[in-house]
Amino acid sequence: METNVQHQPNQSVSEDRSMKYVLSFVWMLLLTGASFAIVTMHLVPENMVIPALLILAMLQVLLQFFTFMHLDFKKSRLTAVFTFSGIAIGFICAIALWLIS
């Protein structure tokens, strides 16, 4: 059977993937650590704190989407379009509600 032949190489590919996941986890930890450090240690000027926090959060979310959630623009374009439409509409909703006050 074909699948039998593919079994061995598949296993080594998965091993490599684990390392990739652990590496992106380390990056997520660093980004999270940076966010907490900015707030507790006052590392950046006061008016830059909130933009810096939001950028770090966006980076971490993109990392989650493209590594942990296996999102791939080439292989699953439809999925990516749906997801980013949801994010775009969500962003508009959040900003609109915020500005009401």
Partner 1 sequence: MSSAELHHHAQTSAPLPPHPEKATLEGRNKILGIWLLIGAETVLFACLFGTYLALRGSNMNGPTTEELFQIPMVAAATLILLTSSLTSVLGVVGMHQNNVKKVQLWFGITVLLGAAFLGLEIYEFIEYVHEGHTFTGSAFGSAFYTLIGTHGSHVLFGITWISSLMIQVARRGLTLETTPKLFVASLYWHFVDVVWVFIFTVVYLMGKVG
Number of chain residues interacting with partner 1 (CB under 8 A): 55
DSSP 73: T
Instruction: Report whether 56 contacts 31 (CB < 8 A).
Output: yes
Phi/psi region, residue 44 (left: phi>0; alpha: psi -120 to 50; beta: rest), is beta
Is there binding between residue 30 and partner 1 (CB under 8 A)? no
Q: Residues in the site for partner 1, rule: CB under 8 A? A: 1, 3-4, 6-7, 10-11, 13-14, 17-18, 21-22, 25, 28-29, 32, 35-36, 38-40, 46, 49-50, 53-54, 56-57, 60-61, 64-65, 67-69, 78-79, 82-83, 85-87, 89-91, 93-101
